[in-house]
Structure 1
Amino acid sequence: MDDQLSHVRADGSAHMVDVTEKATTSRTSRAQAVVVTRSEVIEMIMAGGLPKGDALPVARVAGIMAAKKTWETIPLCHPIPLGKITVDFKSDTGAGTVRVEALVKTTGVTGVEMEALSAASTAALTLYDMIKAVDPRAAITDIKVLEKTGGKSGDWSLEDPGAQS
């Protein structure tokens, strides 16, 4: 493996990686972001009772749109035809959290980790925007890739560390 960073040329300048010779494979990535707020705000989110309206459908669409536009916001990402994007929410009223999980799939020459991270992060930001009037101290935490499949580096999952190939 080359010791040089793939997005940096020998002179130190950044460039977009050449993926034209990479194999086309099925690729997926799953990422999360966690919104932390008060239990009563979680109840309002899940009931669709926030002053700004029903937050989950708005956040879902925002996450999907973000995945589709990742290449426009992250400078060295490639435009990728995405075959599937899902954004789902799991609430835990006792913990005061909503876990946003995004899944992105493609058949292509480069992975979709950044697209999944963009989807989860933007959905969480949208939730924050919709709850800040009732809880300006809400926070977004634990943004990370949970798993990926396909491509040269193989499959891996945080939930199954032994699955890395």
Structure 2
Amino acid sequence: MKYAQIRHYDISNGLGIRTSVFFTGCTHNCYNCFNKEYQDFSYGKEFTQKEIDLIIKYIKEDEVSGLTLLGGEPLQQNVDEMCNFLSQVRKASDDVNKKIWIYSGYTYEEILEDSEKTKIISYCDILVDGRYVEILKNLRLKFRGSTNQRIIDIQQSLKMGKIIDISDYI
């Protein structure tokens, strides 16, 4: 698993001040992707325990609201490695308000059709789903690039058995 960058303090990719990890590798190839170079699976540095420990240190800080995963495509990473990482983050976060956001080009419905992807999102709280679609671009949207993308409460959606879209409440 590789990553391009870790942002200690990020205010663009979720509510509050967040620590964000940009993983590399993506096959969606969205037109005008804002991280085109991150589509290459060989780009970036190896994601190791050293990075996990650093991220855990960052998210324990009072001013950090949580963790955001994006890329590239977080759901095209090694499932065991990603789940190990997220499990450690969950265990280390004493504050239940430390939410984990994940951005994916897959829709929630596509994710649920794949047990490996579902396993990864089960550790997360919020999903921004759907591929970026240039003709649906809207600069007024919070935390999304195009109007087809949704902000979904993962845990409530899994619990209720239906999509809980919180896009209008963020």
TM-score of the aligned structures, taking structure 1 as reference length: 0.26
Question: What is the TM-score with the length of structure 2 in the denominator?
Answer: 0.26
Larger RCO: 1 or 2 (CA < 8 Å, sep 6+): 1
Which structure is larger by alpha-carbon Rg, 1 or 2?
1
Structure with a larger share of its residues in strand: 1
